[in-house]
Chains A and B, each alone.
Chain A
Amino acid sequence: MSPGRRVVVTGIGVVAPGSMGREGFWEMLTAGRTATRRITFFDPGRFRSQVAAEVDFDGRRLGLTAHEVHRNDRFVQMALVAADEAVADSGLPLGSGADDAPDPERVGVTLGSAVGATMRLEQEYVAVSDAGTHWLVDPRYASRFLHHALVPSCGATELAVRFRAQGPATVVSTGCTSGIDAVGYGSQLIEDGDADVVLSGASDAPISPISMACFDTIRATTGNNDDPEHAARPFDARRDGFVMGEGAAVLVLEELEHARRRDAEIYCEVTGYANRCNAFHMTGLRPDGTEMAEAITRALDQGRTDPDEVGYVNAHGSGTKQNDRHETAAVKLSLGPAAQRVTMSSIKSMVGHSLGAIGSIEVAATALALQRGVLPPTANYEVPDPECDLDYIPNTAREQKVDVAVSVGSGFGGFQSAIVLARPSRRTS
């Protein structure tokens, strides 16, 4: 690590269910409004879970070219739209060729995605197999861009090309922690001196029959089909699984001095990031939360942050029985007595669980919360669970200035990640 290189967030772009762009997303979160509904992308009648948080997304209307829409899966399209907004927000003329644009060789990309182009791969499979009739698929029905769908790295390429980022680029695919890890890796590129600016974020579009079916069989998703708007109930005693979501968020990460030299507006500093594995089970969690606690502790250590300083935890809060208990234990274990005072909420109650994307969407929400002094609530919280006994900011956003916030994630494969964000006034001035 190059000593002294610090990382700040100077741009945010969001594509989230139930809203338009970053400001629409924030308005929705602070209003406590939910975007979960009965699935409209296909007839969910034969599925156990029939609810999702869908984005009413039209890439063409949001500035993508016909070629971009044609060759790219929805996850890439949403990443491009989120990145457009983030770059515009940062004020950096990336990809414009302008004199004051950053050196392209010092711009990197880290894009998270848990399942990549799964939607397009399935749609194309239906065509080439004639709806599952032929194992030896028929190439005459294949799209010219199937290779693009096969390799999710195309998402990083599309961002690199659009914004002329010639530095290190990669897709990060650690399942449901991809979105936090992508921002963590982007921060490491800057800390290590390999880039000055990184487009970091994540995107997933998993609302498709195969994704719904595979979570159905393990009963990870909600069966609460009669009341879609209130189907996602993190930390509530009646929770019965997550609600599938989709979306994207991209952050412009920038080296602090680089941002200062151009008088950029700074949302927050990324002061720490860590991830650990539970080495226990691909989908199961031990209730004690030890490894997530370790990730939180290490992320706090990196920025020499005392647990007492943490004012807000943006929870993974998927709304499965085991996750919310596991996470509550991890926060208690890592923050100690400070856990009793900390506030914690899950925006998945409103925008669903968009697998890898949600980590970046939650980092975006956390950065906005720090900047604006408002903490988003946990919607649909009515019946307390004795095993989940922290302050989850029930149903109504709370005006509260916070200096340090932690966003955490947990995913299949046993991955546990934590990232620490701090208000710029605290340390960067």
Chain B
Amino acid sequence: MTGLLVTGLGVVAPTGVGAEAHWSSLLREESAIGPIEGFDPTPYGITLAGQVRDFRPEDHVDSRLMVQTDRWTWMSLAAATLAAEDAGYAAPEDAYATSVFLAAGSGGNEFSQHEIQGLWAKGPRSVGAYQSIAWFYAASTGQISIRDGYKGPSGVVVSEGAGGLDSIGWARRVVRRGTPAVLAGGTEAGMCPYALLCQATSGRLSTATRPEDAAPPFSRRAAGHVVGEGGAILLLEEPAAARARGARRVWGEVAGYGATHDAHHHEDPAPDPAQYARAIRLSLADAGVAPDEVDLVVADGAGTPRLDALELAALGAVFGRRTTPVPVSAPSSYTGRLMAGGSALDVATALLAVRDGIVPGTAHLDDPVDVPAGVELVRRPRVQPLSTVVVLARGSGGFNSSLVLRRAPEGEAA
């Protein structure tokens, strides 16, 4: 089948609200990582994060809805609106023709911390009526479908960092079964004391205190990732339906997808990259793309030496026979890792890169590790025609996902 078309991008990221703000920030090589604002994170041994500092929820979310929802949902509501606006998408007469299928990571963290705090400090009556709908992982999906009147098959998948790609993979199943348009992707907001503490117990967070010291993925100094918030929501449409409504723009095509699990250990990655490499190969086969035809890989970039080495080994296994190495970039070095939102944002970044023919760089990658044959790490943005991009994501515990994006077929572009 012809792939799904991406016809709208909605970005709410540390690097900017809106796809263009995010992209121009990446091109200016401006890292959005800085000291955590809002509370003192030092008890957790953490200083830095990629916060969405210029997000004004009241610009995007009705005030009545704001009090019922967590920051994570505000970002999802904003991203969904931005995606629909970007696509010029108005809900069609058939309300069942649009679905919302998002990834979730950790739910309505800050809202929930407030309510549990109140419950234990003051008693059950202090818990408000909205806790039951603000915290759970389906809150953002439900609120978008209600606000925008979308009645199609909706869903929520949770696979930690791989979720953004997985939501797109599941969106394809929704479209195959007859629903022409799906909002997919996701956002994440874990910037409150309890959520940060929970993340810190993974032992995978960077303890750097200055942004320039937070070594990026694939650096010899890599020692954990910086957490971030935000993400992206994309509008995906079945090609004939997009044409029929006169979609004004096609960002690209979702050409292939593959997902595997290490099934090795509840925390540690598998000792070899076999399942990660298999996810990449599955997505390439699904797209009918040979490793030689890939112009760019947007890496997961977990930022620990072990996970980085495994990712490079997986890339070496798939791309090692290429005559020219495949460029590999980790734009998450500018934002931190956004859990479920991160891989959705990487898809938006990849499509912006394809549009402009510019490969994004990897922040502060001044001391890169050795790479296997067939792989080249991209440190600075550079001009390069792009038509096929692979986006990779992993979720802690062993989730591996790979998505192949292709420049829109001739005649589809606006």
A positions within 8 Å CB-CB of B: 1, 46-48, 71, 104-105, 109, 114-116, 121-122, 125-126, 128-129, 131-133, 135-139, 142-154, 156-158, 160-161, 163-175, 178, 181, 185, 188, 192, 194, 209-210, 212-218, 220, 274-283, 291, 294, 302, 411-415
Contacts and interface: CB of A to CB of B under 8 A. Distances in A.
Contacts of B25: none
Contacts of A188: 173, 177
B149 interface: yes
Contact of A282 (B104, B112, B133): B133
Given A104-B263, A279-B145, A209 B153 contact: no
B9 to A, nearest CB: 23
A331 to B, nearest CB: 19
B43 A136 contact: yes
Given A147-B201, A216-B127, A276-B153, A415 B142 contact: yes
A171 B160 CA distance: 9
Interface in B98-152: 100, 104-107, 112-113, 115-125, 127-129, 131-133, 135-139, 141-143, 145-146, 148-152
Contacts of B199: 147, 150
B399 A185 contact: no
A29 to B, nearest CB: 28
B70 interface: no
B231 interface: no
A166 B259 CA distance: 9
Nearest to B141: A413
B127 A192 contact: no
Contacts of B153: 274-276
Contacts of B44: 139
B137 A116 contact: yes
A288 B104 CA distance: 31
A166 B275 contact: yes
Interface residues of B, number: 89
Contact of B261 (A131, A169, A172, A212): A169
A151 B158 contact: yes
B121 A133 contact: yes
A153 B198 contact: no
B61 interface: no
Contacts of A175: 136, 138, 142
Interface hub of A158, A167, A174, A278 (most chain B Cβ within 10 A)? A174
Interface in B64-112: 68, 95-96, 100, 104-107, 112
Interface of B: 39-40, 43-45, 68, 95-96, 100, 104-107, 112-113, 115-125, 127-129, 131-133, 135-139, 141-143, 145-146, 148-160, 163, 166, 169-170, 173, 176-177, 190, 193-195, 197-202, 259-267, 275, 278, 339, 395-399
B103 to A, nearest CB: 9
Given A164-B263, A172-B157, A412 B40 contact: no
Interface hub of B153, B202, B278 (most chain A Cβ within 10 A)? B153
A136 B146 contact: no
Interface hub of B124, B129, B152 (most chain A Cβ within 10 A)? B124
Contacts of A185: 155, 170
B250 to A, nearest CB: 25
B78 to A, nearest CB: 18
A283 B397 contact: no
A279 B261 contact: no
A170 B166 contact: yes
- A-B pairs with lowest CB-CB distance, top 8: A413-B142, A132-B120, A157-B397, A132-B121, A173-B137, A150-B198, A147-B202, A214-B131
B124 A47 contact: yes
Contacts of A279: 95, 145-146, 148-151
A215 B132 contact: yes
Contact of B120 (A129, A164, A178): A129
Given A139-B197, A216-B127, A217-B128, A173 B158 contact: yes
Given A142-B197, A282-B146, A412-B138, A291 B151 contact: yes
B261 A168 contact: yes
Contacts of B159: 153, 156, 169-171
B263 A161 contact: yes
B201 A1 contact: no
B194 A1 contact: no
Nearest to A181: B155
Contact of A412 (B43, B142, B261, B278): B142
